[in-house]
Amino acid sequence: MTSGDHKRELNSARPADERALLLRWMAETLRSEYGEKDLLARREPLHELISTILSQRTTHADEEAAYKELRDLGDWDDIIAAPTEQVAHAIRRSNYPESKAPRIQETLRRLRDSPSGYDLEFLRELPLKDALKWLTDLPGVGIKTASLVLLFNFSRPVFPVDTHVFRINTRVGTIPKMGEQAAHRALLALLPPSPPFLYDLHVNLLVHGRRVCHWTRPLCGECVLRERCDAYALYGDHVPSFGAK
Ligand code: SF4
């Protein structure tokens, strides 16, 4: 197919209720393709929080390596007390270690000095809005990191929008053109407040982004979403690199 072969109204211009149905179809289609993903906390909350800070602009392998070397410095108190250059060196496999090191130390310091210490369990019961605010007030913690911790560790109904989730939703047109931050709110407003559903969709979008809907030269010919994808309707088999158009 070539660009312009599909003459249909773009999803991104459709009303919210239609885009909400499109998201449900997307979740079901990806589930059939990749299987259902069960919501199980993969690591303890503080580990998830620090790892997610390390994962920003970093591959999974480098994030894991940085986390391991960070923990080799000792317990959380030891990491706070270590010279910041030493912490930066330990996490050098993560991108921007010089800015992440003081943020991680400050985050740990604030936790240590808070009434619950390093235990984040109180986030399970805190009203969702307050839990998001509490987390995003920490240095280096944005809406994506906060959402990951709340969904993955505490089964709270939020939807983390990482680079794969953002790219696929923008291309398919479940949301109009907007930034990654704004997409958190926009997508959440269209999705059912069901943590297992949100988790399953999040993880399957990650899988789809890694395997098929690549940043550049997406494999549209193999894509189970292509019949309803705006980018495919516009460009056929020549979808441009994400952000290029
Ligand atoms: S059709 Fe292409 S651009 Fe659209 S979601 Fe699939 S791989 Fe991505």
Closest to 95 (Cα-Cα) out of 142, 120, 59: 59
H or E element at residue 132 = helix 128-136
One domain, residues 110 and 143: yes
Tell me if 11 sits within 8 A of 25, measured CB to CB: no
- The count of structural domains within the chain is 2
Atom from ligand 1 closest to the CA of residue 218: 7
Mean pLDDT within 5-34: 93
The set of protein residues with a Cβ atom below 6 angstroms from ligand 1 is 168, 171-172, 212-213, 218-220, 223, 225-226, 229, 231-232, 239
Check whether residue 149 and residue 166 sit in a common domain.
no
Which range marks the domain in which residue 24 is found? Answer: 11-38+159-238
Any idea what the CATH number is for the domain that residue 201 is in?
A: 1.10.1670.10
In the DSSP assignment, the letter for residue 183 is H
- The answer to whether 205 and 30 are in contact (CB under 8 A) is yes
Is 136 part of a structural domain of the chain? yes
Tell whether 5 is covered by a domain: no
- Determine the distance separating the centroid of ligand 1 and the alpha carbon of 101, expressed in angstroms: 37
Find the CATH number of the domain harbouring 112: 1.10.340.30
- Is 244 a member of any domain? no
- Centroid of ligand 1 to alpha carbon of 237 (angstroms): 9
Atom of ligand 1 nearest to the CA of 224: 6
pTM: 0.90
The 3-state DSSP class for residue 61 equals: helix
The residue whose C-alpha atom lies closest to atom 2 belonging to ligand 1 is: 220
Q: 222: which DSSP letter?
A: G
Q: Are residues 169 and 204 both part of a single domain?
A: yes
Tell whether 134 and 169 lie within a shared domain.
no
Query: Based on the domain organization, do 61 and 92 belong to the same domain?
Result: yes
> What was the pLDDT predicted at 170?
98
Structure tokens at 47: 């580990």
**Mean pLDDT (the chain, rounded):** 93
| DSSP string for 94-112 | SSSHHHHHHHHHHHHHHHH
pLDDT value at residue 1: 43
Domain boundary among 121, 154, 187: 154
pLDDT tens digits, one per residue of 211-227: 999 999 999 999 999 99
